[in-house]
Chain A
């Protein structure tokens, strides 16, 4: 079965540089989520998109922005990188339930490991 694809898998950047992470959701999934997981920490929700519109916002720094495109893939843009941005970045996708309070299991990608030097 097709899974969530993230690229690149590894990325090394210098401080103050920019980085773009890409996420390709499972086919027919309309919702994308981004998470950041620092070393030894639990995943932290950053932002989500449903049908190309931002649906929820978590602890995403102002230096970061994201969008979902017409083909449902998403990109996380990170500017003025800091050492503390070094982390695993996970993307997840789901298909929003038709019923307002129905569940929607999130499927996670393998992650992008960002190292800021």
Chain B
């Protein structure tokens, strides 16, 4: 699985969009980009995934660059409950968690 690089921490004001970047320059053609988050010590929670195209669901949007070497997770209107560690994972099947981004949403 390709290696990912994420900033260790980010802050975001409540109600504003949170944009979380991820670099995956060694991604191969059949690897998907997944985003999970972990709130405190709960089990990681699936957010969104994509292969080539941008994706949107009820939780977030995923923007993947045309060369697929990086992506951005967008939480359009961050709330305090979105405070969590966000993991960007590139995989086909089994997941390897790297060091994610600790997002803190502030009032």
Give A contacts to B, CB under 8 Å. 4, 33, 35, 37, 42-45, 48, 55-56, 58, 88, 90, 92, 96, 101, 103-111, 113
Listed stretches B13-21, B37-45, B71-79; interface member: B37-45
B contact patch SS: loop
In the complex, the answer to whether B32 meets A103 with C-beta atoms within 8 Å is yes
Q: Given contacts A101-B30, A103-B49, A105-B49, are A58 and B96 in contact (CB under 8 A)? A: yes
Q: Mark B84-107, 1 if CB is under 8 A from A, else 0.
A: 010100001111111110000000
In the complex, the answer to whether A90 meets B44 with C-beta atoms within 8 Å is yes
Give B contacts to A, CB under 8 Å. 30, 32, 34, 38, 41-46, 49, 51, 85, 87, 92-100
A-B contact count (CB 8 A): 56
In the complex, the answer to whether B43 meets A111 with C-beta atoms within 8 Å is yes
The contact sample of 24 A-B pairs, CB cut-off 8 A, is A4-B43, A33-B95, A37-B41, A42-B98, A42-B99, A42-B100, A43-B97, A44-B97, A48-B94, A55-B93, A56-B94, A90-B43, A90-B44, A92-B44, A103-B32, A105-B46, A105-B49, A106-B46, A106-B95, A107-B46, A108-B45, A110-B42, A111-B41, A113-B41
